[in-house]
Amino acid sequence: MTIRIVSYNILVPIYASLPYYYHKSERRYLETDYRWNLITSQLKQEINDHENTIICLQELSRTLISKCEEFFRELNYTFYYDLYGQIYNNYMGVGIAVPASIEINHMSMLKISDHIRSLSRPRETLSGIFSWIRPWYNFISGTLSQSTNDPWETAMSKNNTLICLQVTVDSKSLYIGVYHMPCLYKTPDVMMIHSSIVKDLMFKLADGKDLILAGDFNIEPHNSCYNMLTGKDVSGYKFPVSSSYEIFYQLNSEQTLKSAYREKNGQEPSYTNYSNIIKSSTYCGTLDYIFYRGDLTVQDVLDVPERPASESYPDETHPSDHLMIAATFRLV
């Protein structure tokens, strides 16, 4: 018995529609309807060509959520999602769609920021009760500073959600998670905090059973976060000390993940994200992964081209600036 995992960052329409953003993409290829038709065509092909296809999506948006619900309903899929973003990114979020033929035993939606808070305690740097009131007031009012020099405070300000489903396939229990890492490459400690905690939460939820974690992680294969997730040497890394909180969390280096593409092909794809936007130079690199752990064998992965064939994605055949990735796992 096999299971197919598809991961796809479908690009929120509000970004594609900005006239100055993807300035090297033809306007007709940035239209929401054009892109949506291509996206659904690609997803249908994965569903039709493989058994037990589970879809993990990133950059869902309020604009497209009703279309997503209708699309999966017509295919007899159950669709779980969370829109956690803000108005400027059309309340961007993540989701998982599972065919009705697969039994769903449990669903978890976990905000990483909430979990970080559960592992911390405000430092008593001010006198009296106000030292405790201020951090919680900031949390409730949503005014945690985005520009703080404390990586832990920044990590707590991000509402990114991990969705994890426990499913049963051929009498085998399996945990499937989807996550979209905050894009904070200029503050790598924040990404290390989120990466480590997401990994540990997946292991905690799976409780010794097989797990798969897919998504856009905004990290490249040479990145320290990737090394930490996959068990490469990060012995020299130490989490920063928070100026505002006592943090009761330590990196668990014993719990590591494998990457489906690296296990099957010996390396990650040459790229999964390609864009040429006006506020930065052309970017072409690998940011999307399907990680796993347990008694699973990677049977095959979706082919990814070696190099882009246009000036920028989206283009005529690529509806997002990310490529869709996919892997078939044989359940051992």
Which of 86-95, 137-146, 243-252, 297-306 has the weakest average pLDDT?
Answer: 137-146
What pLDDT, in 10s, does the model give residues 163-175? 999 999 989 999 9
pLDDT on residue 235: 73
Could you tell me if 220 and 301 are in contact, meaning their C-beta atoms sit under 8 angstroms apart?
no
pLDDT on residue 300: 98
Counting residues of the chain whose pLDDT is more than 70, the rounded percentage is 93
pLDDT on residue 277: 84
pLDDT on residue 146: 45
233 or 272: whose pLDDT is higher? 272
What pLDDT, in 10s, does the model give residues 92-129? 999 999 999 999 999 999 999 999 999 999 987 644 55
pLDDT on residue 130: 52
Alpha-carbon distances of 185 from 88, 170, 181, 221, 318, rounded to whole Å: 20, 40, 10, 13, 25
Confidence check: pLDDT of 31 > 60: yes
What pLDDT, in 10s, does the model give residues 52-93? 999 999 999 999 999 999 999 999 999 999 999 999 999 999
Which pair of structure tokens corresponds to residue 85?
Answer: 């973003």
Which pair of structure tokens corresponds to residue 271?
Answer: 């790229």
Structural domains present in the chain: 2-331 (3.60.10.10)
pLDDT on residue 135: 57
pLDDT on residue 255: 93
Span 17-33, average pLDDT: 91
pLDDT on residue 129: 53
pLDDT on residue 281: 77
Confidence check: pLDDT of 147 > 50: no
Whole-angstrom Cα distance, residue 229 to residue 196?
7
Which pair of structure tokens corresponds to residue 72?
Answer: 């999966």
pLDDT on residue 278: 76
Answer positive or negative: Cα dihedral of 20, 22, 25, 27.
negative
Residue type, position 288, single letter:
D
Span 14-33, average pLDDT: 92
Confidence tier at 136 by pLDDT (50, 70, 90)? low
Cβ within 8 Å of residue 235, ≥6 positions away: none
Tell me the Ramachandran region of residue 124: left when phi exceeds 0, alpha when psi lies from -120 to 50, beta otherwise. Answer: beta
Whole-angstrom Cα distance, residue 18 to residue 15?
6
Could you tell me if 77 and 99 are in contact, meaning their C-beta atoms sit under 8 angstroms apart?
yes
Query: Cβ–Cβ contacts within 10 Å for residue 245, how many?
Result: 19
Q: What does the DSSP assignment read for 232-270?
A: ---TT--PPPPSSEEE-----TT---EEHHHHHHSS--S
Element (H, E) at 300: strand 296-301
Cβ within 8 Å of residue 36, ≥6 positions away: 64, 67, 319
